[in-house]
Amino acid sequence: METLQLERADGVAVIRLNHPPMNMINETMRRELRRSFDELSQDRTIGAVVLSSTNDRYFCAGKDLREPAPDPADVEDVHSILDPLWVWRQVQYAIHYCLVPVTAAVEGIAVGGGLGMVGVCDLVIAGEHAEFGLTEINVGLLGGASKVLRLLGPSKARRMLFLGELLPAAELYRLGGIEEVVESGQAEQRAIELARAMARKSPIALRLAKESILRMEGDELLQRYRTENDYSYRIRGNADSAEALAAFLEKREPTWSWS
């Protein structure tokens, strides 16, 4: 694979984001993530999955903002023409609905779509220097609040959405969004330890336990995320959105036009 590494051992699959320099999400990564999680769901030798990174500075810096929009004539799936964010939703659904537990092991920065992936995992283990944020507003976009509502609650979701600031792992742990904070460089190993313990359980019981808790949670996360997608697409039609991105890339203050 071009953007991921996949290892299987002791009933555990480890998927590592591997797209230097910042693990930014492009079309190839979206495709490979979806296929990998769909395949692991059907693999009877796997009892748990760890989602990690080969980069200790960036777990994932979100969407690759320099990736050109696809020509509709080249898009094979009509869903993507009608709903440009449909493919990314399917990736997150594949992670969230993976038939076995998925633990995120986060070192470094997880923002935007990176935080989105973390927010649909079952458990989160973070290195002590990990940082998390919804930084989309800084580049004229929005997104991710549906996951932070799930992890941290409405007040912190608002602050992260409105300010686009980074929060340390310790703060997310304090609010219950992270299972454990460990010494830097140890998040993946700790996540694998937990995954191995899960993989030793009855394979049927483990899968039914995962399905049962998803049903108890209901589809509120998915409905929230679809609403979020609608507003993400809406904001892109504004000139101020393009100005925010240009200012970010050019390292200058934006000039708002209210258009």
| pLDDT at position 120 | 96
Residue 229 included in any domain:
no
Degrees, nearest 5: CA angle 151-153-154: 135
| pLDDT at position 15 | 98
Residue 168 included in any domain:
yes
3-state secondary structure of 142: coil
Residue 254 included in any domain:
no
| pLDDT at position 219 | 85
Look up the domain containing 190 and give its range. 4-213
Provide the CATH number for the domain around residue 100.
3.90.226.10
Q: Which amino acid is at 132?
A: F
Q: How far apart are CA 258 and CA 8, in angstroms?
A: 51
Q: How far apart are CA 38 and CA 258, in angstroms?
A: 43
| pLDDT at position 99 | 98
Work out how many domains the chain is built from and give that number. Answer: 1
Task: Please name which of 105, 169, 114 lies closest in space to residue 136, comparing C-alpha atoms.
Answer: 114
- Residue ranges in the chain whose pLDDT is less than 50: none
Residue 232 included in any domain:
no
Residue 157 included in any domain:
yes
| pLDDT at position 166 | 96
What predicted TM-score, i.e. pTM, was given to this entire model?
Answer: 0.92
| pLDDT at position 73 | 57
Residue 194 included in any domain:
yes
118 close to 132: Cβ distance less than 8 angstroms: yes
| pLDDT at position 245 | 86
Give the other-Cβ count within 10 Å of 94's Cβ. 20
Task: Please name which of 77, 56, 59 lies closest in space to residue 183, comparing C-alpha atoms.
Answer: 56
